[in-house]
């Protein structure tokens, strides 16, 4: 196991995926905050808005709280940041399971972001098609399109489920084959809960994707995602970002089963960020 912060590229050649191993979950959050701030500054130096898709689940919440804190909050021009989500559960805002509510509590309620810059997925609406169309309209209005006509986020944050799902794209589900829609409906196999999720073509159109993976319970799936080739790849393995960069930020526990070939580059965590 290399020292924490070492970048390793254990995936087969030709797939530009980077693994940054951090000491612990707090260091993962800090590394992600520095990447967020740097990406926003770089984009806003050239363009008028920075469009980010927030991940759901628990892992990114430490990042959101850090970004709202005194160290990082002043480093971002929040008035020019547009917030979207990678996925949402079919629950109203304020519900304990709402990804929007988690991000609102940890970050959005603590920064000077105009409410019109916050684009919530209305996954709770009975009329899913109308909610999906509304979301696609927001994507079309604020994001540039790639050569294939898909909206390009400047930054997409993703978590990794122990079963290899990401966003609300679950193993074996038909949604992972969606090649045209930008947003689709899915169902969480464990909870049976309806979801709204960005599709793989949108995730893969991004300029940059950042997976945040912490905890020993993710060690096996991270090893599979990064090092196993499979005839039926996991959804997280299908996030390949052909025209952007893809970084896995993992703590030691989550990276505990990664056996790197001789590292291609031994650089400190700071060099990356």
Residues at the interface with ligand 6PG (CB under 6 A): 55-59, 86-87, 99, 159-161, 165-168
Nearer of residues 72 and 211 to ligand 6PG, judged by Cβ: 211
Rounded distance between C-alpha atoms, residue 190 and residue 80, angstroms: 37
Q: Is 73 left (phi over 0), alpha (psi -120 to 50) or beta?
A: alpha
Nearer of residues 222 and 260 to ligand 6PG, judged by Cβ: 222
Please answer whether residues 91 and 80 qualify as being in contact, where contact means their C-beta atoms are separated by less than 8 angstroms: no
Q: Which residue is nearest to ligand 6PG (CB)?
A: 159
Nearer of residues 37 and 158 to ligand 6PG, judged by Cβ: 158
| Closest CB 218 distance from ligand 6PG, rounded Å | 7
Nearer of residues 6 and 86 to ligand 6PG, judged by Cβ: 86
Q: Which of 207, 84, 200, 199 is nearest to 145 (CA)?
A: 207
| Closest CB 59 distance from ligand 6PG, rounded Å | 3
Nearer of residues 58 and 109 to ligand 6PG, judged by Cβ: 58
| Closest CB 262 distance from ligand 6PG, rounded Å | 31
- For strands 194-198 and 183-187, give the pairing: antiparallel
Please answer whether residues 253 and 3 qualify as being in contact, where contact means their C-beta atoms are separated by less than 8 angstroms: no
- For strands 155-158 and 50-54, give the pairing: parallel
Q: Which of 166, 139, 167, 165 is nearest to 154 (CA)?
A: 139
Rounded distance between C-alpha atoms, residue 217 and residue 222, angstroms: 10
| Closest CB 7 distance from ligand 6PG, rounded Å | 22
Please answer whether residues 55 and 88 qualify as being in contact, where contact means their C-beta atoms are separated by less than 8 angstroms: no
| Closest CB 204 distance from ligand 6PG, rounded Å | 16
Please answer whether residues 159 and 144 qualify as being in contact, where contact means their C-beta atoms are separated by less than 8 angstroms: no
Please answer whether residues 252 and 23 qualify as being in contact, where contact means their C-beta atoms are separated by less than 8 angstroms: yes
Contacts of 30 (CB under 8 A, 6+ apart): 22, 66
| Closest CB 261 distance from ligand 6PG, rounded Å | 27
Nearer of residues 43 and 52 to ligand 6PG, judged by Cβ: 52
| Closest CB 139 distance from ligand 6PG, rounded Å | 17
Rounded distance between C-alpha atoms, residue 32 and residue 84, angstroms: 17
Nearer of residues 6 and 56 to ligand 6PG, judged by Cβ: 56
């Amino acid at each position: 196991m290399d020292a924490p912060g070492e970048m390793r590229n254990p995936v087969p050649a030709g797939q530009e995926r980077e693994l940054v191993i951090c000491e612990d979950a707090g260091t993962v959050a800090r590394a992600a905050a520095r990447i967020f701030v740097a990406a926003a500054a770089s984009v806003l130096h050239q363009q008028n808005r920075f469009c980010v898709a927030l991940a759901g689940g628990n892992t990114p919440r430490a990042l959101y709280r850090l970004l709202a804190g005194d160290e990082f909050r002043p480093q971002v021009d929040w008035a020019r940041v547009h917030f979207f989500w990678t996925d949402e559960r079919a629950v109203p805002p304020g519900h304990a399971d709402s990804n929007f509510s988690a991000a609102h509590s940890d970050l959005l309620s603590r920064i000077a972001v105009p409410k019109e810059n916050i684009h919530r997925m209305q996954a709770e609406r009975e009329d899913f098609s109308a909610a999906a169309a509304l979301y696609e309209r927001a994507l079309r209005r604020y994001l540039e399109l790639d050569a294939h006509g898909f909206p390009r986020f400047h930054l997409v944050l993703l978590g990794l489920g122990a079963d290899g799902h990401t966003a609300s794209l679950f193993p074996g589900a038909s949604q992972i084959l969606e090649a045209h829609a930008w947003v689709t409906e899915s169902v969480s196999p464990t909870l049976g809960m309806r979801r709204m999720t960005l599709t793989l073509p949108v995730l893969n159109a991004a300029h940059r994707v950042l997976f945040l993976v912490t905890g020993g319970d993710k060690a096996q799936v991270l090893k599979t995602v990064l090092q196993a080739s499979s005839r039926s790849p996991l959804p997280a393995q299908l996030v390949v970002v052909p025209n952007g960069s893809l970084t896995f930020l993992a703590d030691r526990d989550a990276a505990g089963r990664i056996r790197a070939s001789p590292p291609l580059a031994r650089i400190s965590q700071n060099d990356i960020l």
